[in-house]
Amino acid sequence: MTKAMAKKKLFIPNKLKDWDEARQRFRLSHVHVQMARELGMNPKKLGKLNNHHQERWKLPLPDFITKLYAKRFGKTRPDTVRTIRETATATAAKKAARRTRKALMREALVQFETHSPCFLDYALIPEAPNYQEGTANEEDPREDEIGPWQAWPCVDAPEIPEGDPSRSP
Query: Average of pLDDT values for 124-145?
Result: 52
| Residue 147 pLDDT exceeds 60 | no
| Residue 38 pLDDT exceeds 60 | yes
In this prediction, residue 148 carries a pLDDT of 47
83 alpha carbon, distance to own chain's centre = 18
> What distance in Å separates the CA atoms of residue 12 and residue 22, rounded to the nearest whole number?
14
The residue that leads in pLDDT, 21 or 151, is 21
pLDDT in tens, 17-31: 999 999 999 999 999
Identify the burial level of 155 via C-beta atoms within 10 angstroms of its C-beta, where 0-12 means exposed, 13-18 middle and 19 or more buried.
Answer: middle
The residue that leads in pLDDT, 57 or 124, is 57
- Asked if 99 and 48 touch (Cβ cutoff 8 Å), the reply is no
* pTM (two decimals): 0.57
Q: What type of residue sits at position 143?
A: E
| Residue 13 pLDDT exceeds 80 | yes
Residue 3, classed as helix, strand or coil, is: coil
Per-domain boundaries in the chain: 14-81
> What distance in Å separates the CA atoms of residue 108 and residue 79, rounded to the nearest whole number?
41
27 φ, ψ (degrees, to nearest 5): 55, 50
In this prediction, residue 121 carries a pLDDT of 53
Query: Average of pLDDT values for 27-47?
Result: 95
In this prediction, residue 145 carries a pLDDT of 54
> What distance in Å separates the CA atoms of residue 95 and residue 114, rounded to the nearest whole number?
29
pLDDT > 70: percent of the chain: 62
What interhelical angle do 30-39 and 61-73 show, nearest 10? 50
User: CA-CA distances (angstroms) from residue 5 to 10, 77, 108?
Assistant: 15, 39, 38
Type and span of the H or E element at 153 = none
